[in-house]
Amino acid sequence: MPRGRQILFRSLSTSIISWLALCAVPLGASETASEIVDAMIEAHGGMEVWRQAPTVSFVDELAPAGAEETRSSVTVEQSRRRAYIDFPGTEMRLGWDGEKAWSENWQLPFPPRFLALLNYYFLNLPWLVKDPGVVLSEPETARLFDDPTDYVTIRMTFEAGVGDTPEDYYVLYIHPETNRLAACEYIVTYTSLLPEGAESTNPHVLIYDQWTEVSGLRVPTHYTIYEQDHSVYATCDVSDWSFEKGFDLARMTVPPGAVVDTSTP
């Protein structure tokens, strides 16, 4: 081969190899956490519709392993994160005004204050990652049990004084090709739920199994929570999603006979 062609060939080969190496860089390796979560939010329908919704409401059916299923109808006011929850088929009700929680005919083993926004948080993580006081780690990669996918992971923590339990964390597992949230690892640091001396529960992994689209937003319809050994901790079906309902302000008045929750977050 003439020398000029050899030089051209080597130059082209080097360029092609460099281009292929660049294309092989996984999502997150060269992107910031902020860029990655922005892409995740867009993959779930964007921020505008979710943020401008008057409320987020849904019905969930939570079934802890070996325990009875609980069905609840949840309504959360987006602007102030106040909430009320009804439990169809029972006389239980829960209210949360942003400062205190109260309940009527309470029969569940968890404090009302703890439950008030629990499933709202699990189900709306793609957007809540942009809440004030949220701190995002540098992106890494990890796998979920026997799933061979190398997910982009971002650890989500909180500034001091944010919410009831700022020591909580969530590790987001984001699919490297679709940018969609696949799962999260989390701990619970709600003091009244912990054994004496414990600072948190063991980590659990929540995997979103099924999704649907409502008002242009991609939302979960089923998830499974796993222990660290991959045994099932709980499952949850979610239905009747809405981002359009009004918020009943009358539910923010503590009813006669209701019990205000005095548990320690």
* CA neighbor of 58 nearest in space, from 83, 91, 95: 83
pLDDT tens figures, 124-175: 999 999 999 999 999 999 999 999 999 999 999 999 999 999 999 999 999 9
Beta bridge partners of 77: 55
**pLDDT beyond 60 at 260:** yes
d(CA 229, CA 157): 24
pLDDT tens figures, 112-135: 999 999 999 999 999 999 999 999
Domain 31-260 has CATH 2.50.20.10: yes
Which phi and psi (to 5°) does residue 190 adopt? -70, 110
Question: What is the largest distance, in Å, between two alpha-carbon atoms of the chain?
Answer: 95
User: CB 218: neighbour CB atoms within 10 A?
Assistant: 15
d(CA 235, CA 68): 11
Question: In whole numbers, what is the pLDDT of the chain averaged over residues?
Answer: 91
Locate the domains of the chain by residue range.
1-25, 31-260
d(CA 131, CA 56): 16
Distance of CA 3 to the CA centre of its chain: 60
Distance of CA 84 to the CA centre of its chain: 19
Q: What's the mean pLDDT in 172-186?
A: 98
